[in-house]
Amino acid sequence: MFGEIAITLLKLAGALTIFLFALKLMSEGLQKFAGSKLRHILTKITGKPISGILAGTGVTAIIQSSTATTVMTVGFAGAGLLTLGGAIAVVMGANIGTTVTAWIITIFGLGGNGGDAKVPLMPMIIAAISLFFIFSKKNRMQYLGQTIIGLALLILGLGLMGDSVPPLDEDVAEKIASWGHWGYWSILLFIVVGAILCIILQTSSAMTAVILLMASQGWINFPTSIALVIGQNLGTTLTAQVVAMTTGTTGKRTARAHLVFNVAGALLFIIPFYPICNGVMFISRQLDSLLPNIPLLPLAITVFHTLFNVVTTIVLAFFIPQIEKLVTLMVPDKKGEGEEEFRLTYLEPTLLSTAELNLQSAKSEILEFSKRVLRMYTFLPGLRTAKNEEEFDAVLARISKYEGITDRMEMEISKFLTRVGSGDVSQHASERIGSMLRIIDNLESIGDAVYQIGITRKNKREDAVHFDEGLNTNLDHMTELVQKALDVMDANLHDYDHADLDAAYAAEHDINIYRDELRAKHLEALKQGTYDYSIGNAYSGLYALYEKLGDYVINVSEAIVGTKRVDE
């Protein structure tokens, strides 16, 4: 008896493993096949909720991963390319997109196998079709082949799961049926069970497959199935909350919006529960005549799953501003949380399975890196205008602290990109990773250069070296030219697609021309003895450091344009 149970559980575990692997294979294949186009879809979102909902639905339906869609959405919102309201609309659409998996399982997995029960015909045909793509010399065709093989394995895994479920004993059937005789308490019980199972499986797609199989095998009736589906939708929100714990304020608010959406949907459908069950079953019977090979109960469950997400989205779309205010109250801005503490906002190591889309998270983190570097640069004038030693030391301490932050940010982002690149990524993604590594290396070098300018100022002060008004004016103008170059660099980092390399080169040209002018005047001043060697050494060291900083700045813009060319 124990041996039979163990074998059955092993069969179920193996079949579920094949199903989950197939889902991952199909999702990653679609992501690599679609490439950067998925990111561009989200950047075209307008201020209207319908555009965000449609984008979220389309992207999630394509990549079969609402989590991946959420990662991109949080990244764009953090980068200022999406408002929180727009991000909420995308998350709503992502919930609709997840229903595509249920339809694939219902139509192909439960209604389209055919042939020998032990060797289903449908997955064999689909796998055979992949032969036309996997041996192609074009990467995109290979990714499409990977997607098709993933679909075949998904259907095969689903069939194996169904074959592994033992016949339902009459006593067990009566016991399960008795749990459904407690009215709304039964509904609440199975909602909790559905949420717990979804949390355990860590994927709503696998939970959907389990519910459909249990229903098709006669383990559960229709109302119980519906309650499990509602619970599954609630269970998916916990994963989002856990992931958001390591993100910034925008990520947490987006996760809370996901929770609010699903809780509101559950309440919307629980109150008129039984009338909805009757209405869904009526619709399903009409569809059953069009899809005769699909069992009625799994079809009805899939119809409800779709109806739940579509209706909830339509209703709550009118309340996006209110949801935005609610999640802002739930996750307020942290008072006293300054920029002078090291933290990563967008990078979440647990999401490395979506390698192609994690690049958006890295891009958003690089924007934060640039923000820190620009902030660090604005401290430099304070070193010259400091009225006393305490004020000077305080400014230099801030620069030193930021230099340590830039070092750690470069290290952590580099580690993240390296881990993403070590996975199965496309050539396109690999080249983007190379460009991003070059960007963060030069951003860190800018931080180093700012720190070196600070140290040079410190040495000058300790050696009692004083510049006259003319030298200070020259350095102030050089500071302004470098600031202009930094501003161009930061603008390019915000919009890779419209990076202005001409403006970047013009800013660098102005820095180089002025450096040459200062060098010529400096050499002439030394010849004429206008100032002594110690003043000249400190002065030339400073304008040379500013010019070197400008070199790092142009390197960033060149790497951005290199990334843009990869996308094209």
* Statement: residue 37 has pLDDT above 70: no
The answer on 506 and 464 residing in a single domain is: yes
Average pLDDT of the segment spanning 100-124? 64
The answer on 244 and 202 residing in a single domain is: yes
Q: Domain containing 403 — which CATH number?
A: 1.20.58.220
Lowest mean pLDDT among 97-106, 120-129, 368-377, 546-555: 120-129
Q: What does the block give as tokens for 25?
A: 């294979």
**Which amino acid appears at position 398 of this protein?**
R
Judge whether 398 and 447 are in contact, CB under 8 Å. no
The answer on 452 and 557 residing in a single domain is: yes
Better pLDDT: 203 or 413? 413
Domain boundary among 305, 337, 369: 337
Task: Kindly state the percentage of the chain with pLDDT values over 70.
Answer: 77
The answer on 361 and 292 residing in a single domain is: no
Confidence category of residue 174, pLDDT binned at 50, 70, 90? low
Judge whether 210 and 197 are in contact, CB under 8 Å. yes
The answer on 417 and 524 residing in a single domain is: yes
Residue 88 within a domain: no
pLDDT digits (tens, 9 = 90+) for 285-308: 888 777 767 778 888 998 999 999
C-beta contacts of 126-130 below 8 A and 24+ residues apart: 126/151, 126/152, 126/155, 127/152, 127/153
pLDDT of residue 568: 43
Average pLDDT of the segment spanning 337-342? 51
Cβ neighbours for 323, distance < 8 A, ≥ 6 positions apart:
88, 257, 260, 261, 316
Secondary structure element (H or E) that encloses residue 323, with its range: helix 320-330
Confidence category of residue 459, pLDDT binned at 50, 70, 90? very high
Residue 32 within a domain: no
Highest mean pLDDT among 466-470, 534-538, 547-551: 547-551
Which residue range forms the structural domain that includes residue 400? 349-567
Confidence category of residue 212, pLDDT binned at 50, 70, 90? confident
Domain count, the chain: 2
3-class secondary-structure state, position 36: coil
The answer on 333 and 271 residing in a single domain is: yes
* Statement: residue 351 has pLDDT above 50: no
The answer on 411 and 330 residing in a single domain is: no
Domain boundary among 313, 337, 361: 337
* Statement: residue 556 has pLDDT above 90: yes
pLDDT digits (tens, 9 = 90+) for 422-444: 776 777 778 888 899 999 999 99
Confidence category of residue 474, pLDDT binned at 50, 70, 90? very high
Cα 437 versus chain centre, distance: 18
Rounded CA-CA distance 559/551 in Å is 13
pLDDT of residue 2: 63
The answer on 532 and 387 residing in a single domain is: yes
The answer on 365 and 260 residing in a single domain is: no
* Statement: residue 103 has pLDDT above 50: yes
| pTM score, whole prediction | 0.60
Question: SS3 for 200-245, per residue?
Answer: HHCCHHHHHHHHHHHHHCCCCCHHHHHHHHHHHHHHHHHHHHHHHC
Residue 353 within a domain: yes
